[in-house]
Amino acid sequence: MSQAVATNDLTTTRAPFIEDSKGRGDMFIPQPYELYSDRNQEAWRRLYERMLPRWEKYANEHFLEGIERLAIDPKQVPRLDDINRFLKPLTGFEAKAVAGYIPAYRFFDCLRRREFPTTITIRDVDTLDYLPEPDIFHDVSGHVPMHTDKDFAEALVRIGDVARTAAEKYAGFSDRDRALRELDSVIKALARFFWFTIEFGLMKHPQGGVRVYGSGLLSSFGEIAHSVDSPDVQRYPFQLEWVVNQYFEIHHYQPLLFVVDSFDHLYGEAERLRQWVMSDKVANVSPGEPLVNAEDLRSFLDAV
């Protein structure tokens, strides 16, 4: 491993541009393309090059179409403006550069408005395999190609609607302690739904077996194959009761994944979750990961 050198580029966790933006409290930021160093560009090239054959083997066909439709350049970190020129006419979605963490409500509300908060930094070329933070490879070549598909896009917007429904419901509560307690559970349920679908979802393949549509898998060289091929992974038909009560851990390959039939199916499940928010069915889900922080709770209470 080579030494981490202090530079002014856009390497994950050590980009001065990002730290300055956070310091100013900026949520949406420009993409200062000139700051990508040769090392950043090399990381992109290597990540893309080694993923391509795996996508061809394991990725959902709508993802493969998406890569084509966005004309993503395998050789250079993409410019979000270029991506959006192709993306927006297809589904109305656009990738918007952000400085980092966004409170839960703001994040889901972006989806509702067809804006995808997108990280612009890239992992260091020495740590291609694993990093806990999202980077532009995860966001642009894991998430964004899926946003070219109309049915997927509608499902994603519906997930954003779940957050809106929750915010509207709890805005009307006079008992603030109860609102906080129940919102904690609702946000947990929503985060688990997002995790087991948008991040780690599998879909039935017309020719048998399953293919990957979850971005956490699509951007992981090791886990994409493991998720489909390994006998160590439990793969079950998507079941909402289970998903909203299932905790997850982020620092290892997922032992349990859920399979949807189609993006129409996914849309229907997101709508069911929205109805469950209204009927109190997810107001007291099983405890455990993910933890909901005070800022996430406040973002919902202050939304309406």
Question: Which residues bind to Fe ion, rule: CB under 5 A?
Answer: 215
Look up residue 119 and give its two tokens.
């990280």
- In DSSP terms, 244 is beta-bridged to none
Q: Which is nearer to Fe ion, 121 or 215 (CB)?
A: 215
Structure tokens of 237? Answer: 């038909």
**Closest residue to Fe ion, based on beta-carbon distance:** 215
| Dihedral class, residue 138 (left if φ above 0, else alpha if ψ from -120 to 50, else beta) | alpha
Q: Which is nearer to Fe ion, 102 or 283 (CB)?
A: 102
Tokens of 242: 């289970």
> Tokens in use for 14?
């050590």
Q: Residue 171 or residue 250: which is nearer to Fe ion going by CB?
A: 250
* Minimum distance of Fe ion from residue 223's CB (angstroms): 13
Q: Which residues are CB-contacts of 22 (< 8 A; sequence separation ≥ 6)?
A: 99, 100
User: What is the phi/psi pair of residue 166, to 5°?
Assistant: -65, -45
Q: Minimum CB separation from Fe ion for residue 219, in Å?
A: 8
Q: How far is the CB of 49 from Fe ion (least distance, A)?
A: 21
Tokens (6 digits) for 285: 């889900």
Residue 7 C-beta: closest distance to Fe ion, Å: 26
The smaller minimum CB distance to Fe ion, of residues 148 and 215, is found at 215
Closest distance of CB 256 from Fe ion, Å: 18
User: Looking at beta carbons only, is 266 or 283 nearer to Fe ion?
Assistant: 266
CB of 207 to Fe ion, least distance (A): 27
- Is the distance from CB of 303 to CB of 105 less than 8 angstroms? yes
- Between CA 89 and CA 54 the distance in angstroms is 28
Pick 58 or 194: Cβ nearer Fe ion: 194
Least distance in angstroms from the C-beta of 139 to Fe ion: 7
Of 213 and 276, which CB lies nearer to Fe ion in the complex structure?
Answer: 213
Question: Which positions ≥6 away from 281 have C-beta within 8 Å?
Answer: none
Contact 121, 44 (CB under 8 A): no
In the chain, helix, strand, coil percent, each to 5? 55, 10, 35
